[in-house]
């Protein structure tokens, strides 16, 4: 007699039930699978050619220069002389997140950076959100830095041949121009280097990093001669709110210390070298930022920094009374900012490479050239997008939008390190965050605090960006995800 409540059965094996929408959104990609797929792309593989020195230079190259050469002029009017304190606050926020990055980079040495870390710990939807924020962090910051490059190029041209690029062709709409041609040019130059291969790009970046460190040391040596203690009177004219707001803007200048983590699939010994490169680069960067900011504010009254995106070159000229030193610094800044564009553009292409391999973005971003071992089509598409963005949008809006995307991604990294400690405590780790979960929790709180210091307009832009990203995910990535379409047995864990 049949049980009336039992479902009908034809005698064959029960059909496997597909996971529901909620389960698919929360599906995690095992660390072992992430690592096993490392370097593999459509039509070829990335080449492991980078050591500790090159990885450290990538992180410094992606970071050092942006805040000092470009964003300092935007931040000083918000905080006054206390901008040095803003740099320290932004650096501490970066440090807590850097510790989490260092642990995860040594444990999951792949190109996806925090996108891959979120995929292994918090599921596909959170990974997508993180990856979408990284596009804001890397792609938009390339454009933001390129805008500042044009300012220093004009300083250089004026000091050497006495001409400048007309405002119509050297500033975006809204800043008195029509099209920022220099910003587009520097992105295309970086693209040409990246097309040649990771090792060749790393060599060029190393040379540029040495030049810009030398330039900042030179600035301090000359700028301190114009130091006036009176410039530090009324140290915090706009209060702690101003310091916090400047710190949120200056956090943009720390974007890039995590760039080494995007090179996980091209590092010779990723598990050993990635944590070291991340922490070493951040220490060097923070020390230089605070020193240069202290000298700059001491040499020029803070109210004179308004609308000055080439402030350091102008200070050099004012202190010495000669245009030569300002011109020399402008030359170094042109090289320095170009290296930021190069390395941040590199990071963006590698993150998209990892997302493409997972099926969340089109396959074109995962194609690797057998000749150069680089994702050339990916590099071309990203470069053209960033170049046009740089040519059309003012710096300040780009910098704040980049900061909020970065802070959100960093907050997720601090959560991911705690989740992985609990879910996979047995995994070998070449670096461990001390006092976990306390320090990751502090890092998470710092990120939220600095996000809260950004303007309402920035939050609106971020909200629109996230909404667009979620629409793209549900129309494309959700349906084409390789993990959701063909899960491995171990993925049910």
pLDDT confidence of residue 433: 93
Kindly tell me if the per-residue pLDDT of 306 is higher than 70: no
Q: How many residues are there in the chain?
A: 493
> Across the chain, what does the average pLDDT equal?
82
User: 50: which strand partners?
Assistant: 267
Q: What is the pLDDT of residues 171-201, one digit of tens each?
A: 767 667 678 888 888 889 989 988 887 778 8
* Between 389 and 350, the higher pLDDT residue: 350
Phi, psi of 2, deg, nearest 5 = -80, 145
Q: How many CB atoms lie within 10 A of CB 70?
A: 29
d(CA 64, CA 288): 8
The neighbouring-strand residues paired with 45 are 40
Cβ proximity of 407 and 451 under 8 Å: yes
155: pLDDT strictly greater than 90: no
**Average pLDDT, integer, range 151-165:** 81
- Please list, in sequence order, all residues whose beta carbon lies within 8 angstroms of the beta carbon of residue 456, skipping any fewer than 6 positions away: none
For the chain, what is the radius of gyration of the CA atoms?
Answer: 23
Q: Alpha helix (H) ranges present in 135-230? A: 140-160, 167-170, 181-195, 198-223
Query: pLDDT tens digit string along 67-100?
Result: 677 677 778 888 889 998 998 888 888 888 899 9
Q: Is residue 158 scored above 50 in pLDDT?
A: yes
Return d(Cα 393, Cα 384) in angstroms, integer: 14
pLDDT confidence of residue 70: 66
- CB proximity list for 450: less than 8 A, separation 6 or greater: 89, 90, 93, 244, 247, 248, 251, 403, 407
Q: What is the DSSP letter of 7?
A: P
| Under 8 Å between Cβ of 156 and 331 | yes
* Cβ atoms of 149 and 337 closer than 8 Å: yes
Plot region of 41 (φ>0 → left; ψ -120 to 50 → alpha; else → beta): beta
Q: What are the structure tokens assigned to 75, written together?
A: 């931040």
Pairing of strands 44-45, 40-41: antiparallel
In angstroms, the CA 313 to CA 188 distance is: 25
Q: How far is 273 from 438, CA to CA, in rounded Å?
A: 25
Separation CA 134–CA 96 (nearest Å): 18
Closest CA to 329 of 292, 297, 303, 302: 292
Residue ranges of alpha helices (H) inside 262-322 are 270-299, 311-320
What are 104's two structure tokens? 């995860």
Q: How far apart are CA 96 and CA 228, in angstroms?
A: 34
pLDDT(489) > 70: no
Ranges 41-50, 99-108, 125-134, 335-344: which has the least confidence: 41-50
Q: How confident is the model at residue 394 (pLDDT cuts 50, 70, 90)?
A: low
* Residue 472 pLDDT exceeds 90: yes
- Give residue 298's Cα distance to chain centre: 30
């Amino acid at each position: 007699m049949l049980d009336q409540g039992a479902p009908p059965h034809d005698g064959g094996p029960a059909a496997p039930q597909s996971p529901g929408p909620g389960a698919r959104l929360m599906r995690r990609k095992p660390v072992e699978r992430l690592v096993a797929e490392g370097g593999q792309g459509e039509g070829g593989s990335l080449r492991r050619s980078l050591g500790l020195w090159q990885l450290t230079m990538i992180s410094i190259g992606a970071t050092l220069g942006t805040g000092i050469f470009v964003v300092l002029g935007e931040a000083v009017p918000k905080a006054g002389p206390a901008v040095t304190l803003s740099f320290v606050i932004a650096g501490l926020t970066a440090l807590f997140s850097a510790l989490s990055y260092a642990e995860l980079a040594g444990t999951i040495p792949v190109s996806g950076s925090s996108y891959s870390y979120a995929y292994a710990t918090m599921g596909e939807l959170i990974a997508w959100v993180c990856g979408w924020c990284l596009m804001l962090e890397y792609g938009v910051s390339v454009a933001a830095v390129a805008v500042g490059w044009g300012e220093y190029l004009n300083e250089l041209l004026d000091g050497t041949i006495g001409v400048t690029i007309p405002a119509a062709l050297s500033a975006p709409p809204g800043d008195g121009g029509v099209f920022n041609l220099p910003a587009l040019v520097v992105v295309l130059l970086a693209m040409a280097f990246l097309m040649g291969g990771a090792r060749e790009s790393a060599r060029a970046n190393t040379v540029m990093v040495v030049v810009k460190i030398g330039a900042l040391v030179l600035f301090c040596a000359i700028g301190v001669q114009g130091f006036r203690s009176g410039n530090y009177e009324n140290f915090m004219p706009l209060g702690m709110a101003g310091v916090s707001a400047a710190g949120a803007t200056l956090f943009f200048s720390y974007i890039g210390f995590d760039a080494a983590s995007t090179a996980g699939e091209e590092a010779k010994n990723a598990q050993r070298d990635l944590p070291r490169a991340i922490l070493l680069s951040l220490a060097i960067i923070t020390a230089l930022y605070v020193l240069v900011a202290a000298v700059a504010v001491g040499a020029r009254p803070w109210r004179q920094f308004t609308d000055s995106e080439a402030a350091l070159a102008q200070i050099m000229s004012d202190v010495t009374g000669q245009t030569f030193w300002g011109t020399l610094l402008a030359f170094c800044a042109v090289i320095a900012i170009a290296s930021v564009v190069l390395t941040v553009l590199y990071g963006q292409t590698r993150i998209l490479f990892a997302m493409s391999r997972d099926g969340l973005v089109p396959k074109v971003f995962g194609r690797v050239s057998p000749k150069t071992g680089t994702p050339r089509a990916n590099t071309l598409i990203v470069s053209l997008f960033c170049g046009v963005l740089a040519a059309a949008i003012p710096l300040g809006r780009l910098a704040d939008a980049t900061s909020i995307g970065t802070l959100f991604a960093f907050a997720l990294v601090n959560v991911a390190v705690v989740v992985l400690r609990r879910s996979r405590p047995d995994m070998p780790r070449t670096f461990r965050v001390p006092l976990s979960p306390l320090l990751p929790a502090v890092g998470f709180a710092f990120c939220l605090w600095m996000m809260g210091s950004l303007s309402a307009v920035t939050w609106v832009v971020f909200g629109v960006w996230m909404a667009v990203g979620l629409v793209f995910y549900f129309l494309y990535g959700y349906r084409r995800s390789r993990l959701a379409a063909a899960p491995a047995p171990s993925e049910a864990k």
